[in-house]
Structure 1
Amino acid sequence: MNGAPAPALTYVYAVIPPAPAALRELLPTLKGVAGAPVALLSAEDPVSFAVSAVPRADFDETALKTRFEDLRWLEETARAHHHVIEVLAAHTTVLPLRMATLYQDPAGALDALRAQSGAFTAQLARLSGHAEYGVKIYVRPAERDRAPAAPAATSPGKAYLAARRAQQHAHEDHYRQAQVATERIADLARRHTAGQVRHPAQSGPLASAAEENVLNDAYLVPDGGADAFRAAVAGAARDLPGIRIEVTGPWAPYSFAAP
């Protein structure tokens, strides 16, 4: 018995409805976190967990406390987790679960699946036929706006102060433009989307040094309305030169996975 391997933990990626044939054919070749094969775990319920068996020594509570401080491991695990969800989302509706959702064994995972089957089914019904899109608004630095030339007779000190005032006014104007764009996007979202989640504006290592991110929203968009949504968002900044709007997606609906 001393040489017996420690039992694995059950790593859960997502919840899906009954898998189409194409996905079932693909699953035997799909590798997830720690290079582990991905399988479906289900009972008689109309939903399934996408799971892998991962080494207990690397994923138990004690190990994860250390692992989450290892940026290389964290990035590799996040990429593998996201890859599985992307593959699932290409074939069916997917309800992504957070990285490192773990159960002691398949029986424990099945208990959780059964207990939450009704909620999972309702969430999947809401997400069916939709994808997540991100919308970010960036404010352009006022330094990019050329200040009006000071009169030739103006002293260097006065010219400097005038340039600083003009720059400040331009900066304030860019923020006003961002507010206008935010209001326009909120209005069109009511017509083009089925849900919205507001995330904190990006700062620190995730932010651009050249621009300031002032809006970072996620929208749940019907598949048939994606082109109209993109065009409407692009139009929200057409007459606002002090800002830039970025639209990303389609993504699996990570932002809308919470009950």
Structure 2
Amino acid sequence: MTELRYVYAVCGPLDAPLPAQLTGVAGAVPRLVGHAGLTAVVSHVPADQFSEKALRRNLENLDWLSDTARAHQTVIAALGSVTSPLPLRLATVFHDDSGVRAMLEDGAAGFRETLDRLRDRVEWGVKVYVEEQRAQDDASGEQREARRERPSAQSLASGSGRDYLRRRRSERAGRDEAWRQAEGFAQDLHDQLSRHAEETRIHPPQNAELSRASGRNVLNAAYLVDRATSEAFVERVDSTKDERPGLRVELTGPWAAYSFCAPPEERTDASGPAAGTAGGGAS
């Protein structure tokens, strides 16, 4: 069977071996390919699954994609225990070791710059949601009120009709104010956390149908934080979780710095959640 080389990450020289009995994509054991003072973490994978043609097919298979992503992440997480890796994109594949070495040779300067920037740093993710139940309660209350007080055409011309419309406008204004306060809280939290991070990235708000997370996502951010100060960063996030009823703050990590691996010309950022809350998305 023809085998290809699946590359998980690029690192500097490792001071410790990979964890024993670690397996990666397609159940293969990762190994190291060194060149130009850099190390690629690779494993052998079957060509019938990872050739260019096979990948086009398999990347449409959600079960295959999920299994591959999970195995990829397992190796990256293991690397995070011995170094600060530069994770590569899912399904980065070469024909043989010489192709891997050519990648290290061609990208050596950029890899070294990024590895220096990521050294001894990890990624933390922070999301803020407006609780779904709060929005549902608002909507249900409005619907009950509308059923109870829906005016006739005649009453709309009267004072009671004007009062009804005034209440409806007031309710809408109240909901709009609640969203503004939520986004203000998210912006303030992002500003605070940014002061304790080396770099930040604002991702598009998560699409609830894809993430299956309840509530409206008003902040979806990543923070590059020194390992030495990560405990203080986590405590700062935890201290905000009960500050505002109706909002949910979620912290994930520490991760390898996936959000901060792009070369300089591809890096983007935003000043805060207001830049991304208008539309849906997932990250």
The CA distance in 1 between the partners of 2:213 and 2:194, in whole Å, is: 32
2:4, 2:96 within 8 Å by CA — same for their partners in 1? yes
One-letter amino acid matched to 1:134: G
2:9, 2:41 within 8 Å by CA — same for their partners in 1? yes
Counterpart among 177, 182, 187 of residue 173 in structure 1: 177
Residue 151 (structure 1) aligns with: none
Tell me if 1:156 matches 2:149. yes
TM-score by length of 2: 0.78
Relative distance call for 1:164 and 1:237 in structure 2 (3 A) is farther
| 1:238 CA displacement | 5.0
Residue 90 (structure 1) aligns with: 81
Tell me if 1:19 matches 2:11. no
Secondary structure, counterpart of 1:144 in structure 2:
helix
Relative distance call for 1:9 and 1:228 in structure 2 (3 A) is same
Counterpart among 239, 242, 248 of residue 252 in structure 2: 248
The CA distance in 2 between the partners of 1:129 and 1:219, in whole Å, is: 14
| 1:195 CA displacement | 0.7
Tell me if 1:105 matches 2:109. no
Tell me if 1:72 matches 2:67. no
2:123, 2:223 within 8 Å by CA — same for their partners in 1? yes
Residue 206 (structure 2) aligns with: 202
| 1:209 CA displacement | 6.5
One-letter amino acid matched to 1:20: D
Counterpart among 34, 46, 53 of residue 42 in structure 1: 34
The CA distance in 2 between the partners of 1:165 and 1:218, in whole Å, is: 37
1:142, 1:170 within 8 Å by CA — same for their partners in 2? no
Deviations 1:162-200 (A, max 9, x none): 775554333212211222223312321342001111111
Counterpart among 108, 118, 122 of residue 131 in structure 1: 122
2:86, 2:257 within 8 Å by CA — same for their partners in 1? yes
The CA distance in 2 between the partners of 1:209 and 1:223, in whole Å, is: 28
Deviations 1:77-120 (A, max 9, x none): 11000000001111111111011001111101101101212211
Count of aligned positions: 245
Relative distance call for 1:183 and 1:210 in structure 2 (3 A) is closer
| 1:232 CA displacement | 2.8
Deviations 1:126-151 (A, max 9, x none): 11111111111112333436969xxx
The CA distance in 2 between the partners of 1:118 and 1:62, in whole Å, is: 31
- Larger deviation: 119-128 or 175-184? 175-184
Relative distance call for 1:117 and 1:188 in structure 2 (3 A) is same
Residue 152 (structure 1) aligns with: none
One-letter amino acid matched to 2:199: G
2:194, 2:223 within 8 Å by CA — same for their partners in 1? no
Residue 81 (structure 1) aligns with: 72
The CA distance in 1 between the partners of 2:72 and 2:231, in whole Å, is: 28
Tell me if 1:230 matches 2:223. no
One-letter amino acid matched to 1:51: V
Secondary structure, counterpart of 1:171 in structure 2:
helix
- Larger deviation: 222-231 or 106-115? 222-231
2:12, 2:38 within 8 Å by CA — same for their partners in 1? yes
The CA distance in 1 between the partners of 2:97 and 2:195, in whole Å, is: 43
1:174, 1:242 within 8 Å by CA — same for their partners in 2? no
Q: Gapped runs of 5+ residues in structure 2?
A: 143-147, 152-162, 264-283
Relative distance call for 1:160 and 1:203 in structure 2 (3 A) is farther
Tell me if 1:186 matches 2:190. yes
- Larger deviation: 234-243 or 194-203? 234-243
TM-score by length of 1: 0.84
| 1:240 CA displacement | 3.0
- Larger deviation: 78-87 or 133-142? 133-142
Secondary structure, counterpart of 2:195 in structure 1:
helix
Residue 154 (structure 2) aligns with: none
One-letter amino acid matched to 1:42: G
1:177, 1:240 within 8 Å by CA — same for their partners in 2? no
2:194, 2:200 within 8 Å by CA — same for their partners in 1? no
Q: Gapped runs of 5+ residues in structure 1?
A: 149-154
